[in-house]
Amino acid sequence: MQVENSAQPFFITKETLEEWTRRPHQHNFFELVYIENGSGEQCINHTVIPYQQDNIFLLPPYDCHSFKITEPTTFVFIRFNALFFRKDSMQMMDYTEWFQHLHYILSSYNRQPGDVIHNASDKNMLVTLIKGIYDEYTDKREQSDSIIRAHMFALLNILRRNFEQTFRSEHQSGGDKQVADMLQYIQFNLFDNEKLRVESLASQFNLSATYVSEYFRKKTGESLKEYILKARVNVAQSRLLNSDQRAKEIAYELGFTDASHMAKVIRKYNPPQEACSTK
């Protein structure tokens, strides 16, 4: 399996293609793909779905993907990792902490292929931001770096809003708003052990402390402890792939005993994926 690497924290390119000649591949960065025009099919992790003009996809690291082009297609590819969100050359804004918190959303949302935005207003804003980012990147005018970072901050917050709305709707089965609220609360406070204590959850959602764990299992099909651990594993794996932090630093910040313990837990919950088909 070909793994494409990038030494650049941020890169954007526009390509018009009549045929996708690259083999199915993975990469070690996030990639946002905007279809400016054209049509065809996207394949991600062995699942195929049609694409068309104005579709927007987010490809997390190490998801296998490729495209099959039906009509000549203009792609805009935006590649980025955590290093891009540090202070820029002007020492303006530092988005490091914000991006670390965003990791779990970008790397653990429903990874089915297809357009990530279903709200027309949000889609229009994203398209405008993507075009603005491309113009600033190609023109390289004064303070372009700061402007691009601010655009990316807005763009990723719009994605986050849509992912969270999708997450809530997917988990609000049978009109059960409370369990959807609880899942979102857990995700938002994923590394605040005090807020994730059974007593805190009971108080937040007007449940008996002795009933919280039973309620959670009944509504989700898995234990509260298991759910939290799996969510933390997703964040740990994302940071390993998308930041320059050392494994032992990540393990310490996320509450694992050490780097070895963290690696063992990651292998348990996220075993290596089957390689993409090259057919």
Q: Where are the domains of the chain?
A: 2-170, 176-269
**pTM listed for this prediction:** 0.69
Q: Which CATH number fits domain 176-269: 3.40.50.300, 3.40.50.920, 1.10.540.10, 1.10.10.60?
A: 1.10.10.60
Task: Band the pLDDT of 3: cuts 50, 70, 90.
Answer: very low
How far apart CA 27 and CA 25 sit, in angstroms, is: 7
Domain 2-170 falls in which CATH fold?
Jelly Rolls (2.60.120)
d(CA 116, CA 58): 7
pLDDT-derived band of residue 188, with 50, 70 and 90 as boundaries?
A: confident
> How high is the pLDDT of residue 84?
82
Phi then psi dihedrals of residue 188, to 5 deg: -65, -35
- Work out the mean pLDDT of the chain and round it to a whole number: 81
Residue 107 clears pLDDT 70, i.e. is over it: no
Torsion of CA 152, 157, 159, 164, to 10 degrees: 160
Mean pLDDT of 146-155: 90
